[in-house]
Structure 1
Amino acid sequence: MAEPALSETDIDTAGLAVRLRAVIKTYENGVTALGPLDLDVAKGEFISLLGPSGCGKSTALRLIAGLGAPSAGTVSVSHRVNRADGRHPIGFVFQEPTLMPWASVRENVRLPLKLAHATAAEANSRIENALAQVGLSEFADAYPRELSGGMKMRVSLARALVTDPDILLLDEPFAALDEITRFRLNNDLLDLWRKLHKTVVFVTHSVFESVYLSQRVIVMTARPGRLASEFRIATVEPRGEEFRTSAEYAGYCRAVSSALSPSYSGQRSA
């Protein structure tokens, strides 16, 4: 029998941001995408979910975000929130920036605050801060058509940060970017995590990205996604380019790749 969902107080007392217990997700077409999956994420931890396409990584993020309900099992999330000032416990960055093309960068970032009915003064202050955090202060009045792919993703990240979430969920946000831009945004994301002390759950298909970014890499099986293995990336902080080119990094990548291989060999066609 699955453990009961933890209350907000209990999950905070346990030092957890997220707990999944025996979580299964089956869609209306009969496809079971996920589970059973057990997962604990500590407050302030940076983890990556790694696995083949269709293994339920994005489904797990959506369940954590409350964008769907599990078919079975429990999802417990720490919710420290003050809706009066537009805060929200969770920020979500999708694969595509999904920006409003008719709106400026500033107005795209304002959207979640508008939905939360934040005051204009509070919203303006938060927008300015979020744009500064992602290095886009000078582009507040630009439109999406005037931005590079990396800049658009920075806007999406600023929009997720503007509500000052405790938990940041990122669904392959850098997958469509060139390697140089992707490396730069990896470094920027790590800097933000260190400064802001957010809990981060990051979905990726890249072994190299997962090892570089994460404190812990969760390797998932082919659909239905379950926990196959996990790796704690214990290295000197802060990480930088010297880690990316080190023998230690290469060793972690080999180990994670080896653990991931059975998931790909057993992958079912979509």
Structure 2
Amino acid sequence: MAGLAVSLRAVTKVYDNGVMALGPLDLDVTKGEFVSLLGPSGCGKSTALRLIAGLNAPTSGTVGVFHRPGEERAGHSIGFVFQEPTLMPWTSVRENVRLPLKLARAAAAEANARVSEALTQVGLAEFADAYPRELSGGMKMRVSLARALVTDPDLLLMDEPFAALDEITRFRLNNDLLSLWRNLHKTVIFVTHSVFESVYLSQRVVVMSARPGRITAEIRIDAPEPRGEEFRTSVDYAGYCREVSNALAPSYSGLPGS
């Protein structure tokens, strides 16, 4: 298992109502890789992410998440960014980011340093004392990202974090996320509905079928780093988007409205 961050083997998930959401699913993600899960609504992308995070248990199969030595405690090796920022409205940005460290009973001096570092990483150091109601949608998502980074996780799981944002803000956050990934050397698994976003961000796009979700294609995006607007407007980018779209198309056949 050397070099692996995540390994799923024959994983299925059947909910209590009898709906089979996933599987069987096999997936390996190497340490430091940026992988996007792409597929239609209800195909089990978010379910897979929650299984990896340990928030749910698979019905069958095995989920392996490989931690740094000594970092298995309290889930610190995994950071999770949800689709909604889920911030506490009654307290400041600083205290929202501090929450995971508070739950882990981290020493005050260490927590203060980590919170300051995380806010600097996402460009919000000057908004530490602001409240969520004073922030834009993109800034709220940056707070959510800082909260996920504050424990210095090996693995960052992101469940459609930019889906509700306008296009310009989304592009900017895509660029900032890539910069963080390059600088912090995290493993990222990113769930999205957007072909364009998946190609721009990822080293590998994993395409999933309609429910029950299975992997139907894996497309490696061999684009030079660092990526920027030159890549987003390039012939290579358009070609990759076409390839991913073609791989995704069968997942929508037979769905309502298709």
Separation in structure 2 between the aligned mates of residue 114 and residue 17 of structure 1, nearest angstrom: 26
Aligned position for 1:216: 204
Aligned position for 1:128: 116
**Structure 1 runs of 4+ with >6 Å offset:** 83-87
- Judged with a 3 Å threshold, the aligned counterparts in structure 2 of structure 1 residues 210 and 190 are, in CA distance, closer, same or farther, namely same
Identity value in percent:
80
Q: What pairs with 1:215-234 in structure 2 (closer than 5 Å)?
A: 215-234=203-222
How many correspondences in the alignment?
257
Cα offsets for 1:140-173 (capped at 9, x unmatched)? 0000000000000000000000000000000000
Which residues of structure 1 form unaligned runs of 5+? 1-10
User: Is structure 2 residue 31 aligned with structure 1 residue 43?
Assistant: yes
Secondary structure of the residue that 1:183 maps to in structure 2? helix
Aligned position for 2:58: 70
Separation in structure 2 between the aligned mates of residue 58 and residue 85 of structure 1, nearest angstrom: 24
Aligned position for 1:257: 245
Which residues of structure 2 form unaligned runs of 5+? none
Secondary structure of the residue that 2:27 maps to in structure 1? strand
Secondary structure of the residue that 1:261 maps to in structure 2? helix
Separation in structure 2 between the aligned mates of residue 227 and residue 22 of structure 1, nearest angstrom: 11
Separation in structure 2 between the aligned mates of residue 182 and residue 122 of structure 1, nearest angstrom: 32
User: Is structure 2 residue 151 aligned with structure 1 residue 163?
Assistant: yes
- Residue 100 of structure 2, aligned match among 90, 107, 112: 112
- The root-mean-square deviation of aligned C-alpha atoms, in Å, is 1.6
How much has 1:79 moved relative to structure 2? 1.9
Secondary structure of the residue that 1:210 maps to in structure 2? helix
Secondary structure of the residue that 2:222 maps to in structure 1? coil
Cα offsets for 1:6-49 (capped at 9, x unmatched)? xxxxx3xx210000000000000000100000000000000000
Secondary structure of the residue that 1:58 maps to in structure 2? helix
- Judged with a 3 Å threshold, the aligned counterparts in structure 2 of structure 1 residues 140 and 84 are, in CA distance, closer, same or farther, namely farther
Cα offsets for 1:162-214 (capped at 9, x unmatched)? 00000000000000000000000000000000000000000000000000000
- Please tell me whether the aligned partners of residues 71 and 77 of structure 2 are also in contact (alpha carbons under 8 angstroms): no
Aligned position for 1:138: 126
- Please tell me whether the aligned partners of residues 84 and 118 of structure 1 are also in contact (alpha carbons under 8 angstroms): no
Aligned position for 1:243: 231
- Judged with a 3 Å threshold, the aligned counterparts in structure 2 of structure 1 residues 84 and 65 are, in CA distance, closer, same or farther, namely closer
Separation in structure 1 between the aligned mates of residue 220 and residue 153 of structure 2, nearest angstrom: 25
Counterpart amino acid of 2:12?
I
